[in-house]
Amino acid sequence: MKTFFKIAMLSTALLSIGAAQAAEDVVWWDFLSGGDGVRMKALIEQFNTEHAGEITIQPTTLEWGTPFYTKVQTSAAIGEGPDVMTYHLSRVPLGVASGALAPISAEDLSSVGLSGDVFAPANWEAGQSEGAQYAVPFDIHSIILYYNKDKLAEAGLLDANGLPTGLDGAENFTAALEKLKAGSEYPLSLQTSGDGTPWRVFYSLFGQQDGTFLAEDGTFFPDESIPKAVKAVETMASWVEGGYAPALTEYEGSVALFTSGESALHLNGVWEVPTMADLAAKGELGFEWGAVAVPTFFDHPATWADSHGFAIPNNVGKEMTPEKKAAVLEVISWMNKNSLAWANAGHIPAYTPTRESEEFKTMQPNATYSVLADTAVFDPKSVLAGVASPVYDAVANYISPAMNGELGAQEAIDEMKADLQDQAD
């Protein structure tokens, strides 16, 4: 009998060792700080709890922007990159061109219940290069229009549902700003210095006119699209020239103008939703706020968008085992299927079943502006475009000065075209 128990105990120990060996550690890199970082850490903790003994995510947060993408490229080139990482879809072209990203096959994705059918078409395609998938979307983050309900109500610009009305059409929008001028230091606050918001607003207005930023032959702003680009810049410049929006204002200053109650409207990304919600919860906002999709100024709805996605680095000389790949794919799938918590950061879930769930439909104001998933225009596919790219630099050098009356709109687009074309050729 003692021998039997010894054998049983040994067998149990060996099984435990085998289980421990079967567990996979997934090295994870992200660039998420602030509210995004807090929410992602919570998701990682939940994943690790649910997958205890099977898969453990080992996370590291790196600096956002150029430093992150530079480190990914240099690390992957020597086989020292992570197993999985967050990645802006707008940077996929650069990642593919530099050899830093590994393709993700349809078979890989189907093994964890994912396919292009469960994402908005434009969102899914943004993660591709020449038909191959290199990143899986996690969210859609776009710019939206924040509004002070009190000020809009006073100006007669709220409908029966408490939503803004009379803002569609460039002329109507200007007329609304005029109505709001008396009760605000500036009716509209937005970043008018630098690159971020100016690019996102410009690309939205340009997309609403079906402008082509980069033609298939590699031409930036082909001739037929130049007037559309000029019109977009002229519209943005008119807000500053008319005294409706502040000149030469940095990002943080534009947010402060709205949260202090000095501006009735605010153009910014969905990522500021937690800021507004937190201030309101603390009783520090001083007014009732809301957020909706950016108005349609021109021909049809279209709004700049990007996505946080998940990508697998092409670690040179370090082939991923089937077990490791299965664990990485499980991480990507689980994150998407549990992305409702991520929506608390203001983002729109990329995974359609989450976006169409009853839980998300009751999440405000996200559900109100979630129509952006169907009207999103993603950054042009170019190694020169995307987050912290030469396109962003060009916006700071040409479009922002034009917004502030330092350059004419035509001159700004001509110089931006020449600059980007020189870098591409």
- Write out pLDDT tens, residues 41-97: 999 999 999 999 999 999 999 999 999 999 999 999 999 999 999 999 999 999 999
Q: How far is CA 398 from CA 146, 381, 386, in A?
A: 26, 21, 17
Among 16-25, 192-201, 222-231, 330-339, the least confident range:
16-25
Sign of torsion, CA 85 87 89 91?
Answer: negative
**Topology annotation, domain 26-138+307-369:** D-Maltodextrin-Binding Protein; domain 2 (3.40.190)
Assign 276 a pLDDT band (cuts: 50, 70, 90): very high
Buried b (16+ CB within 10 A) or exposed e, 152-185: beebebbeeeebbebbeebeebbebbebbbeebe
Q: Which tokens is 8 given?
A: 């049983």
**pLDDT given at position 85:** 98
Assign 2 a pLDDT band (cuts: 50, 70, 90): very low
CA-wise closest residue to 191 among 121, 267, 251: 251
**pLDDT given at position 281:** 94
> C-alpha angle 23/44/89, rounded to 5°?
105
**pLDDT given at position 25:** 98
* Selected residue with higher pLDDT from 393 and 21: 393
**pLDDT given at position 34:** 85
Say how far apart CA 354 and CA 360 lie, in whole Å: 7
CA-wise closest residue to 121 among 140, 134, 108, 105: 140
Percent of the chain whose predicted confidence (pLDDT) is above 70 = 95
Q: Specify whether the CB–CB gap between 387 and 351 falls below 8 A.
A: no
**pLDDT given at position 14:** 37
Strand order in the sheet with 55-61: 55-61, 24-30, 84-88, 308-311, 136-137
Q: What is the mean pLDDT of the chain?
A: 94
CA-wise closest residue to 360 among 377, 347, 378, 375: 347
> Which residues face 265 on adjacent strands?
147, 188
Q: Which tokens is 405 given?
A: 């009356």
Q: What is the mean pLDDT of residues 188-213?
A: 98
Per-residue model confidence as pLDDT tens digits over 153-167: 999 999 999 999 999
Question: Do the domains 26-138+307-369 and 142-304+389-424 sit in the same CATH topology, yes or no?
Answer: yes
Q: What is the mean pLDDT of residues 290-306?
A: 97
Which CATH architecture describes the domain 142-304+389-424?
Answer: 3-Layer(aba) Sandwich (3.40)
Q: 31: exposed, middle or buried (C-beta count within 10 Å: 0-12, 13-18, 19+)?
A: buried
- pTM for the full predicted model: 0.91
Percent of the chain whose predicted confidence (pLDDT) is above 90 = 92
Assign 19 a pLDDT band (cuts: 50, 70, 90): very low
Q: What is the mean pLDDT of residues 325-347?
A: 96
For residue 411, give every residue at least 6 positions away whose Cβ sits within 8 Å of its Cβ, in sequence order, or none. Answer: 402
Q: Specify whether the CB–CB gap between 405 and 240 falls below 8 A.
A: yes
Q: What is the mean pLDDT of residues 369-388?
A: 94
Per-residue model confidence as pLDDT tens digits over 28-42: 999 999 889 999 999
Amino acid in position 11? S
Q: How far is CA 247 from CA 84, 190, 268, 372, in A?
A: 41, 9, 16, 28
> C-alpha angle 306/380/266, rounded to 5°?
45
* Strand duo 139-148 + 263-269: pairing: antiparallel
Say how far apart CA 378 and CA 375 lie, in whole Å: 10
Assign 22 a pLDDT band (cuts: 50, 70, 90): low
Q: Is residue 341 predicted with pLDDT exceeding 90?
A: yes
**pLDDT given at position 8:** 43
Q: Is residue 11 predicted with pLDDT exceeding 90?
A: no
N-to-C CA span, the chain: 82
- The secondary element (H helix, E strand) that includes residue 88 is strand 84-88
Where are the domains positioned within the chain? 26-138+307-369, 142-304+389-424
Per-residue model confidence as pLDDT tens digits over 401-425: 999 999 999 999 999 999 999 999 8
Dihedral angle of Cα 203, 206, 210, 214, to the nearest 10 degrees: -60
